[in-house]
């Protein structure tokens, strides 16, 4: 299996929420992380925001687009 390691900065409140989600549902955690990556990519101008990425943004942030 080809694996990559990723680093993600989150606030203390986001970390606590992530710990709670991890106890409840792993799929929710992966969705949250994916939405966070998309959000940060849009902010950095790496990808263009779409309605789909905004709908998946579960941390309450608004996309920069």
Q: Which domain holds residue 43?
A: 26-58
Q: Comparing C-alpha atoms, which of 63, 47, 43, 64 is closest to residue 55?
A: 63
**Within a domain: 5:** no
Asked if residue 30 is part of any domain, the answer here is: yes
- Predicted pLDDT of residue 13: 93
Q: What is the token pair recorded at 20?
A: 């709670």
Examine residue 32 and state whether it is found in any structural domain, yes or no: yes
Question: Is residue 44 one of the residues assigned to a domain?
Answer: yes
The pLDDT of residue 51 is: 54
Q: CA 36, CA 42: separation in Å to the nearest integer?
A: 10
Q: Comparing 65 with 20, which gets the higher pLDDT?
A: 20
Please report whether residue 43 resides in a domain: yes
Predicted pLDDT at 53: 44
**pLDDT score, position 44:** 87
Q: Is residue 6 part of a domain?
A: no
Summarize pLDDT for 10-59 with one digit per residue, the tens.
899 988 888 888 888 777 778 888 888 888 888 888 888 765 544 444 44
């Amino acid at each position: 299996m080809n694996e990559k390691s990723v680093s993600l900065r989150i606030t203390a409140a986001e970390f606590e929420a992530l710990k709670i989600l991890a106890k409840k549902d792993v799929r929710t955690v992966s969705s949250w992380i994916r939405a966070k990556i998309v959000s940060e990519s849009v902010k950095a101008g790496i990808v263009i925001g779409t309605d789909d990425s905004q709908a998946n943004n579960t941390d309450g942030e608004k996309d920069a687009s």
